[in-house]
């Protein structure tokens, strides 16, 4: 086998052992044992083997024995991993869907290469660099990434079919940095209430947040709703920086501890700009890591109200270790603790499979619908720092105000088609067919939100698109049309394609129970 590949594996094992009890003679013997196994396979196995894949599998299995969040990434996976966290990536800057074997451009990203080149939403890509990509079996997500991707400041020419234009239009795009915003929605709900949705803690999050504060005049708002639902985390230091907007100078926000990592305290460095703003933080079962650092510190200091459902429960800190071949291992090096001393990491002692299904277990045992279904452990009792309220550690942040998951909001068949992407596909085609009408009649979002509604004809067209040929088709139409959540969702999808992601959430929030509970507080 390749000595180079083997050395990479040895490096991984040495790093793992050194993070724990040091590199002893026994560990050295175990590594030699593994070397023997590889040599026996090399010299005696009946068929040829992929040694690189064997080593990768061994690394993955080794890390899996430690905890669910120590993981290995090969070189190709690292770029995708870091794309959202860096705040930009090199590309052409479009969002799209592949419908009827053709790439339909849904939107062009602001300040991205495609916008600068003159690409428009609604354009259909027929060729890339004069090579046909439209047609059965000619394109999929991976193939499109291959032909549109490339190095910075290189050229790609797309040939698009544009509404109202007879011939294909050739557009030269210079690949460059494409901004990836971490704040995907923000607006004034009322004169006194502002809303900000943060989907990740990235390198650009604080620059974005400062811009939002200035643009919305948040320092003058009476209440801010900070939406961290679905936010899986990101950079730890960014969560600390965000908390500096709300907590007093030198407030403790986080402590990290590990066997080989010295205890470290994180405190706010500046005086809070939004110290007089009432704060409501929205969380759910998909809010993890840095989201839990923020919501945990806000709760511990009694600085705001946490609304929603119990967060994910990830209280481990990972550090990247880059290997000689460009691959990388993210190894857990410490646990983090909220200001009151809580470690909110949920248990993984029953194995990774059980850990991975823990959220679905919450649904099955009724926790997502009933607050009383959460089982608290007396040994994990803590108290908030100012008001001495009872709170719990060991399994996520429990909200101050619980909002149940409404599993009956959408009909079952609607949710099934939604999961398959068919509902979104219908909305894309509806907007594409009516793009000129929508643009000409609704010059701004406010007019669209006030005047445009989902009609019964829209619902009929949706049912036909889904090929629902049941005898009770009229009942299905009525079931969807009389469901305010379905109408709200379809309207939000249309708004997304016409106006953008910010407006998608503005409409979706109108019928969102957690958002509306935050308004009431």
- Going by DSSP bridges, is the β-strand pair 183-188/176-179 parallel, antiparallel, or unpaired? unpaired
The pLDDT assigned to 332 comes to 95
Q: Closest Cα to residue 233, out of 318, 331, 346, 301?
A: 318
128 contacts: CB under 8 Å, gap ≥ 6 = 147, 148, 156, 157, 158, 159
Residue 242 has pLDDT above 80, yes or no: yes
The one catalytic residue among 199, 314, 491, 517 = 314
Burial class (CB in 10 A: 0-12, 13-18, 19+), 503: buried
The pLDDT assigned to 15 comes to 59
Confidence of residue 16 (pLDDT cuts 50, 70, 90): low
Q: Output phi, psi for 256, to 5 deg.
A: -115, 140
For every residue of 171-234, DSSP letters joined together read EEEE-EEEE--SEEEEEESSSSEEEEEE--B-TTHHHHHHHHHHHHTGGG-SEEEEE-TT---B
User: Catalytic: 300?
Assistant: yes
Confidence of residue 78 (pLDDT cuts 50, 70, 90): confident
Mean pLDDT over residues 153-164, rounded?
94
Q: Where are the alpha helices (DSSP H) in 244-391?
A: 290-300, 352-356, 358-364
The pLDDT assigned to 1 comes to 47
The pLDDT assigned to 24 comes to 57
Burial class (CB in 10 A: 0-12, 13-18, 19+), 199: buried
CA–CA distance, 268 with 257 (Å, rounded to integer): 19
Where are the domains positioned within the chain? 3-65, 88-179, 183-319+330-402, 412-520
pLDDT tens readout for residues 361-377 = 999 999 999 988 877 77
CA dihedral 53, 148, 175, 104 (to 10 degrees): -130
Q: CB atoms < 10 A from the CB of 74, how many?
A: 14
Q: Which CATH architecture has domain 183-319+330-402?
A: Alpha-Beta Complex (3.90)
pLDDT tens readout for residues 24-74 = 566 667 777 777 887 888 888 899 878 778 878 888 888 888 999 999 998
The pLDDT assigned to 324 comes to 82
User: Catalytic: 167?
Assistant: no
The DSSP call for residue 162 is -
Average pLDDT, the chain: 90
Burial class (CB in 10 A: 0-12, 13-18, 19+), 387: exposed
Least confident of 77-81, 150-154, 166-170, 340-344: 77-81
Find out whether 245 and 222 touch, Cβ atoms under 8 Å. no
User: Catalytic: 289?
Assistant: yes
CA distances from 152 to 91, 135, 170, 510 (A): 8, 29, 20, 41
Residue 387 has pLDDT above 80, yes or no: yes
* Torsion over CA: 83, 89, 94, 98 (sign): negative
The pLDDT assigned to 393 comes to 87
For every residue of 87-155, DSSP letters joined together read TEEEE--EEEEEETTEEEEEEE-TTSHHHHHT--TT-EEEEETTEE--STTT--HHHHHHHH---TT-E
The CATH class given to the 88-179 domain equals: mainly beta
pLDDT tens readout for residues 428-471 = 999 999 999 999 999 999 999 999 999 999 999 999 998 766 66
The pLDDT assigned to 57 comes to 84
Least confident of 39-43, 165-169, 257-261, 383-387: 39-43
The one catalytic residue among 107, 114, 289, 327 = 289
Q: Closest Cα to residue 339, out of 240, 231, 273, 270?
A: 240
Residue 126, token pair as written in the block: 């027929």
66 contacts: CB under 8 Å, gap ≥ 6 = 16, 331, 332
Q: CB atoms < 10 A from the CB of 347, how many?
A: 11
The one catalytic residue among 123, 227, 300, 512 = 300
pLDDT tens readout for residues 485-507 = 999 999 999 999 999 999 999 99
End-to-end alpha carbon distance in the chain: 64
CA distances from 409 to 235, 254, 286, 465 (A): 34, 38, 19, 22
Mean pLDDT over residues 241-269, rounded?
95
Beta bridge partners, 317, equal 334
The pLDDT assigned to 25 comes to 61
Least confident of 96-105, 354-363, 463-472: 463-472
State what percent of residues in the chain have pLDDT above 90. 71
State what percent of residues in the chain have pLDDT above 70. 93
The pLDDT assigned to 225 comes to 98
CA dihedral 420, 71, 294, 521 (to 10 degrees): 30
Q: Closest Cα to residue 126, out of 154, 153, 160?
A: 160
pLDDT tens readout for residues 273-329 = 999 999 999 999 999 999 999 999 999 999 999 999 999 999 999 999 988 888 899
The pLDDT assigned to 468 comes to 62
Residue 513 has pLDDT above 60, yes or no: yes
Token pair 């129970």: residue: 513
Q: Closest Cα to residue 430, out of 403, 458, 388, 450?
A: 458
């Amino acid at each position: 086998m390749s000595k180079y590949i083997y050395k990479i594996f040895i490096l991984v094992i040495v790093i793992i052992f050194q993070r724990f009890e040091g590199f002893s003679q026994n560990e050295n013997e175990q590594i030699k044992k593994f070397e023997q196994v590889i040599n026996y396979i090399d010299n005696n196995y009946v068929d040829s083997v992929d040694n690189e894949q064997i080593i990768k599998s061994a690394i993955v299995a080794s890390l899996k024995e430690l905890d669910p969040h120590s993981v290995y990434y090969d070189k190709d996976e690292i770029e995708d991993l870091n794309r959202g966290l860096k705040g930009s990536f090199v590309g052409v800057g479009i969002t799209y869907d592949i419908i009827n074997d053709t790439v339909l451009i849904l939107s062009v990203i602001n300040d991205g290469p495609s916008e600068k080149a003159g690409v428009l939403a609604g354009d259909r890509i027929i060729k890339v660099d004069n090579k046909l990509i439209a047609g059965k079996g000619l394109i999929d997500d991976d193939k499109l990434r291959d032909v549109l991707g490339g190095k910075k400041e290189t050229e790609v020419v797309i040939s698009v079919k544009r509404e109202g234009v007879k011939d294909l239009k050739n557009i030269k795009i210079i690949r460059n940095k494409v901004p990836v915003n971490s704040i995907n929605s923000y607006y004034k709900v009322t004169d006194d209430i502002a809303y900000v949705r943060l989907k990740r803690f990235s390198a650009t999050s604080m620059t974005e947040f400062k811009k939002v504060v200035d643009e919305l005049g948040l320092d003058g708002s009476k209440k801010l709703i900070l939406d961290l639902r679905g936010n899986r985390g990101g950079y730890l230091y960014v969560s600390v920086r965000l908390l500096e907007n709300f907590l007093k100078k030198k407030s403790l926000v986080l402590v990290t501890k590990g066997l080989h990592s010295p205890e470290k305290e994180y405190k706010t460095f500046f005086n809070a700009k939004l110290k007089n703003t009432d704060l409501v933080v929205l969380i759910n079962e998909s809010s993890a890591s840095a989201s839990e650092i923020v919501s945990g510190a806000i709760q511990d200091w009694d600085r705001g109200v946490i609304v929603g459902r119990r967060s994910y429960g990830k209280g481990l800190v990972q550090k990247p270790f880059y290997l000689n071949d460009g691959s990388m291992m993210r190894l857990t090096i410490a646990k983090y603790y909220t200001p009151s001393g809580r470690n909110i990491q949920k248990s993984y002692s029953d194995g990774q499979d059980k850990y991975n299904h823990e959220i679905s277990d919450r649904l099955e045992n009724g926790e997502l619908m009933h607050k009383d279904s959460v089982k608290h452990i007396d040994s994990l009792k803590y108290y908030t720092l100012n008001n001495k309220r009872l709170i719990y550690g060991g399994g996520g942040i429990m909200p101050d105000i619980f909002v149940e998951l409404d599993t009956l909001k959408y009909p079952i068949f609607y949710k099934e088609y939604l999961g398959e992407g068919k509902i979104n596909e219908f909305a894309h085609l509806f907007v594409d067919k009516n793009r000129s009408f929508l643009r000409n009649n609704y010059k701004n979002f406010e007019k669209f939100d006030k005047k445009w509604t989902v009609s019964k004809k829209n619902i009929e067209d949706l049912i036909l698109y889904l090929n629902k040929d049941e005898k009770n088709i009229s009942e299905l139409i009525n079931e969807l049309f009389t469901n305010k959540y379905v109408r709200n969702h379809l309207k939000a999808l249309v708004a997304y394609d016409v106006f953008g992601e910010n407006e998608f959430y503005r409409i979706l929030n109108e019928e969102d129970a957690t958002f509306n509970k935050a308004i009431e507080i």
